[in-house]
Amino acid sequence: MAGRSGPLAENYPFAMTPQPASFAGLCEHCRYARVVPTPRAAFLLCERSKSDSAFERYPRLPVRSCPGFERGGKEEAPAGESPDRGDESD
């Protein structure tokens, strides 16, 4: 699909307005992010919200910083590297 790449792109089988590859920010590569498709749109669910109320169930995107971020899925951090928490300022 044009305009999308990364692990979440596979979960968008239906037509949507193309977004930049980093439309979800850190969630795009987080092990706790899950796509929830509906007939009209798709939402990103933060699985951490199920066990910790400090995390929003459906965070406003793009997420630029998150203390619960853990790289996961197909693009896991190499062994021995600490996960990027997104705390660095731009």
Q: For the chain, give every domain's residue range.
A: 33-65
| pLDDT of the residue at 23 | 79
What letter would DSSP give residue 71?
B
Task: Tell me if 20 sits within 8 A of 3, measured CB to CB.
Answer: yes
Q: Encoding tokens for residue 34?
A: 């899950």
pLDDT tens string for the chain (90 positions)? 455 555 555 555 444 555 555 678 999 999 999 999 999 998 999 999 999 999 999 999 999 999 999 998 544 444 444 445 554 444
pTM of the model: 0.58
- pLDDT tens readout for residues 69-84: 999 854 444 444 444 5
